[in-house]
Amino acid sequence: MAKVPIMIFLTAGLCAMPWLALYLHDWSTFAIVIHALQFISVSFPWVVPESARWLLSKGRTKETVDIITRAAHMNKKSLTPEVIRELEEFGNEQKNAKNTQASALDLLKTPVLRLRFLVLCVMWLVMILAYDGHVRNSEHIGSNVFVSFTLVGIVELPANFLIIVLVEKVGRRHTTSITRVLSGVACLVIAAIPETYTTSIMALAVTGRFLIAMSINVGQQYKVEVLPTVARGSGTGLIHILGNLSGFISPYVVYLSKIGHYLPYTILGLVSILGGSICVLLPETFNQILPDTLEDGETFFTGQGYCYNPCAGNSTFQDLNSDAENTGRIPQEDEVRERVA
């Protein structure tokens, strides 16, 4: 789970925010400080290498080999001439292909990709609304907003690590679906009990936050694996834009607590259950060959039932990885399909 370190630092930032605000004691200074830190990201294009898989899908073989060679050197490994030759052959095939260029709009042109893309958009919109709603609603839990915000944020740390195990044992689809539905159920239970049950409300709110944190961890990785490489960047970008629009709604959802404590939790619960339910329309991507082209995105992951779980086949991929390390040869797609089948 490549996204887990990101979520760990996000959790650390959330826990530090209330104490930074308390130290600065001025909302305008606080806003300037936390937003000024974002200028560090300007240096990222010169520090973070481009995706080797994306470069290869564009036929930019030399850059791909250079990046993988540097990564191998850092890990005290080396690329064999056979591996480099296979990368060059695949890169040349992609360079001559007609569909090396694609945009997010191309994802709407075919039925399977269109359904998956729209489900991902709704899933992300619901997930951001639920997560942001839980974060903002932390001020209504406990008597001290600084302490409650920090404590509820800390519960995300075990969620960040537990999710690593769950996605390997349960898979992407079932993990994100189950955690989101259970988070919604926790919210609905809060809405159903009296406001005077403060201990129960706090325990359930922490549980809901814990579960939605696990769900957003998987969601970060899930959408990247479902979309084909040629449209992955633009597709995930559009999903983020559409999904983050719900961030404008969450303050108003939380403000409904002025009318009744049950209203925010009712809305968060219903949207979480909705988001978890539609996840069953997405394919399971764990232990699967990921799509590179639009045609791959339309045909890959077909034939999966709602109860499909490839986690039992994990040893197959471990065997393939072991063979690749011993022989220095990249398994071909048809070979992987035959071994996984």
Residue 152: predicted pLDDT? 82
Stretches in the chain below the pLDDT threshold 70:
1-3, 95-101, 142-143, 305-307, 309-341
Same domain, 19 and 163: yes
CB contact at 8 A, 102 and 231: yes
Apex 134 CA angle, 251 and 191, nearest 5: 95
Residue 322: predicted pLDDT? 52
Same domain, 111 and 226: yes
Same domain, 180 and 316: no
Q: How many domains does the chain have?
A: 2
Q: Which pair of structure tokens corresponds to residue 51?
A: 């995706």
Same domain, 249 and 337: no
For the chain, helix, strand, coil in percent to 5 are 80, 0, 20
Name the 3-class secondary structure at 284.
Answer: coil
Distance, in Å, from the CA atom of 243 to the CA atom of 250, rounded to the nearest integer, reads 12
Residue 290: predicted pLDDT? 84
Residue 315: predicted pLDDT? 45
Q: Which pair of structure tokens corresponds to residue 145?
A: 């907003």
Same domain, 336 and 240: no
137 in a domain, yes or no?
yes
86 in a domain, yes or no?
no
Residue 311: predicted pLDDT? 65
CB contact at 8 A, 236 and 204: no
83 in a domain, yes or no?
no
Residue 341: predicted pLDDT? 46
CB contact at 8 A, 140 and 202: no
How far is residue 86 from each of residues 80, 91, 273, measured CA to CA in Å?
A: 10, 8, 45
The DSSP code sequence of 215-283 is HHHHHHHHHHHHS-GGGHHHHHHHHHHHHHGGGGTHHHHHHGGGT-THHHHHHHHHHHHHHHHHGGGSP
Residue 316: predicted pLDDT? 46
Q: Which stretch of DSSP H or E encloses residue 295? A: helix 294-299
Residue 97: predicted pLDDT? 64
| Residue range of the domain that includes 324 | 312-341
Same domain, 112 and 252: yes
What is the pTM (predicted TM-score) of this model? 0.76
Q: Which pair of structure tokens corresponds to residue 161?
A: 């690590």
Same domain, 259 and 330: no
